[in-house]
Every structure is written in structure tokens, then in C-alpha cells.
């Protein structure tokens, strides 16, 4: 994978009642939801190339691998600050790092990365990330 130095972007997400598990903190699966919601927001707001634009171009991103490390808990009403950054790419794949912080305490709650593969919607096969997309996303 080609490693790149890129911008880190942030999205705020409020912890909702349906995010809470039986232990009275955010269910472990919700951290993945927060990461994906932040990426969706940042694709349009920060990169100006939304998921809908990818679909219009005949592409889509699919998750290939996820790694999540849990450090602390978030509770009902907390605000999560989700930061993401393109880390590296190779052919059809990109690695995106993420960090989730508590807005109130500024402490790291969770971190990890996802590997996503760009596919062609016509045949659902991986496709090399186009140069214009790399240019937009490597800011």
C-alpha cells in the first residue's frame, strides 16, 4: 500500500438512547456505525465527493476489513468526536484510520481502521481507484 500524509477531518455524533446496551454504555457495534457515519458526512462535506457521486460515476465502496480497539465507554447524551484520515491505498483498496474521542473529557474512546474496496457497480468487481479520486481524497 502507498502511504500518504492526509488531512484529518472531524464529525460530531450525539449518543442516542438506542445506542446504549444492557451495561448502560454505548454498544460495541455502534462505534463502527459512528465511524461509517463520519465517513459518509466527511465524503460530502470535506472532500466534496459524496457517496452519491460515486454511485453516479458507477462505483461504490465496500468494507473489506475492520479493526476496532476499545479504550473507554461513551454514555447516553455524550458527544463523540469522530476523526478520520486516509492512510494508504493500493489499487482498488484504501485504508482509513479513525479515532473516537469524548467531547466532554477529550479522552480517546476508541480507535482503529477500515479497509475499503472500490467496486464497479456494473459487474461488482474491484476497480483501481481513479487518479481524479486519489487527487481529491489525498488532501
According to the model, what pLDDT value does residue 101 have? Answer: 98
According to the model, what pLDDT value does residue 2 have? Answer: 57
According to the model, what pLDDT value does residue 136 have? Answer: 87
Residues 18 and 26: their CA atoms lie apart, in Å, by 9
**Alpha helix ranges (H) inside the chain:** 30-45, 51-56, 131-137
According to the model, what pLDDT value does residue 99 have? Answer: 98
Q: Where are the domains of the chain?
A: 2-137
Ranges of the chain whose pLDDT falls below 70: 1-5
Nearest to 103 by CA among 25, 12, 8, 9: 12
Class of domain 2-137: alpha beta
| DSSP three-state, residue 41 | helix
According to the model, what pLDDT value does residue 93 have? Answer: 97
For the stretch 10-45, pLDDT in tens is 999 999 999 999 999 999 999 999 999 999 999 999
- Using the Cα atoms of residue 61, residue 52, residue 56 and residue 130 in order, give the sign of their dihedral: negative
Amino acid at each position: 500500500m502507498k502511504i500518504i500524509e492526509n488531512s484529518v477531518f472531524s464529525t460530531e455524533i450525539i449518543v442516542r438512547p438506542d445506542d446504549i446496551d444492557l451495561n448502560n454504555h454505548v454498544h460495541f457495534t455502534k462505534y463502527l456505525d459512528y465511524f461509517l457515519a463520519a465517513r459518509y458526512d466527511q465524503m460530502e462535506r470535506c472532500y466534496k465527493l459524496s457517496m452519491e457521486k460515486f454511485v453516479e460515476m458507477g462505483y461504490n465502496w465496500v468494507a473489506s476489513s475492520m479493526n476496532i480497539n476499545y479504550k473507554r465507554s461513551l454514555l447516553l447524551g455524550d458527544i463523540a468526536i469522530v476523526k478520520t484520515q486516509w492512510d494508504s491505498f493500493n489499487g482498488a483498496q484504501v485504508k482509513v484510520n479513525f479515532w473516537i474521542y469524548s467531547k466532554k473529557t477529550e479522552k480517546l474512546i476508541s480507535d482503529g481502521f477500515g479497509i475499503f474496496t472500490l467496486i464497479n457497480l456494473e459487474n461488482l468487481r474491484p476497480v483501481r481507484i481513479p487518479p481524479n479520486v486519489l487527487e481529491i481524497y489525498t488532501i
